[in-house]
């Protein structure tokens, strides 16, 4: 697969990223909303990260989707396994203050179903900053459980394990 597949849900659509999405992520990384994620150091690193999210589909058959809500970019949902991650990760970023509408849950549920049906990794986790209570709540709502013994690449993270052997 060379690009992310389009997946439609009830209120949103997961789609491949387009170049214009990168500007929104640049703004996100400059905001307080990015306090729990690793930020690019400069525009070149933003480009490298964005290109990796998009190009990962061609190289590994998994990567990131743009979350499209009412025709607007609302965030990103990803299934990735970069070299520094011990396991395949389901991760998410919301760009705007759209909490409370079920956007993150629906996007993650769609990505999780696709992952279980198509990607079928041996394991799937979410690496979450231990202080990011909203992301921890989302992982739990998705049915993930805390795995205190799992390897992680960032010591400030906790690891939530998703069951990849059953559908949601």
CATH number at residue 110: 3.40.630.30
**How far apart are the C-alpha atoms of 117 and 142, rounded to whole Å?**
16
Domain annotation covers residue 143: yes
What pLDDT is attached to residue 35? 64
CA angle 62, 109, 142 (to 5 degrees): 115
**pLDDT higher for 50 or 115?**
115
| Structural Rg of the chain based on CA atoms | 15
The answer to whether the beta carbons of residues 157 and 127 sit under 8 Å apart is yes
Structure tokens at 72: 């607007």
Domain annotation covers residue 2: no
- 3-state secondary structure (DSSP) of residue 81: coil
* Segment 103-134, tens digit of pLDDT: 999 999 999 999 999 999 999 999 998 998 98
What pLDDT is attached to residue 65? 97
Structure tokens at 118: 């198509």
Domain annotation covers residue 23: yes
Domain annotation covers residue 123: yes
Question: Residue 47 contacts by C-beta under 8 Å, 6 or more apart in sequence?
Answer: 22
Between 11-15, 48-52, 106-110, the lowest mean confidence (pLDDT) is in 48-52
Between 2-6, 36-40, 59-63, 78-82, the lowest mean confidence (pLDDT) is in 36-40
Share of the chain above pLDDT 90, in %: 58
Domain annotation covers residue 80: yes
Confidence tier at 155 by pLDDT (50, 70, 90): confident
**How far apart are the C-alpha atoms of 24 and 46, rounded to whole Å?**
11
Domain annotation covers residue 21: yes
Domain annotation covers residue 147: yes
What pLDDT is attached to residue 49? 82
pLDDT of 166 strictly over 80: no
What average pLDDT is seen over the chain?
A: 88
Average pLDDT over residues 66-70: 92
Domain annotation covers residue 168: no
- Domains identified in the chain, total number: 1
What pLDDT is attached to residue 168? 44
pLDDT of 99 strictly over 80: no
Q: What domain range is 106 assigned to?
A: 7-162
Sheet holding 7-8: strands in order across?
Answer: 7-8, 13-15, 64-69, 72-80, 89-94, 124-129, 157-162, 145-146
**How far apart are the C-alpha atoms of 109 and 113, rounded to whole Å?**
6
């Amino acid at each position: 697969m060379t690009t992310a597949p389009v997946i439609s849900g009830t209120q949103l659509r997961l789609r491949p990223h387009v170049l214009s999405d990168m500007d929104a992520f640049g703004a996100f990384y400059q905001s307080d909303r990015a306090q729990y994620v690793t930020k690019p150091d400069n525009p070149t690193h933003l480009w490298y990260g964005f290109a990796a999210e998009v190009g990962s589909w061609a190289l590994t058959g998994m990567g990131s989707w743009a979350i499209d809500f009412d025709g607007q970019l609302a965030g990103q949902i990803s299934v990735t396994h970069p070299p520094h991650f011990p396991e395949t990760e389901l991760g998410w970023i919301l760009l705007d203050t759209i909490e409370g509408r079920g956007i993150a849950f629906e996007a993650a549920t769609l990505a999780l179903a696709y992952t279980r049906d198509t990607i079928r990794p041996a394991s799937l986790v979410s690496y979450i900053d231990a202080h990011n209570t909203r992301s921890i709540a989302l992982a739990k709502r998705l049915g993930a459980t805390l795995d205190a013994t799992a390897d992680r690449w960032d010591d400030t993270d906790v690891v939530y394990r998703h069951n990849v052997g059953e559908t949601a």
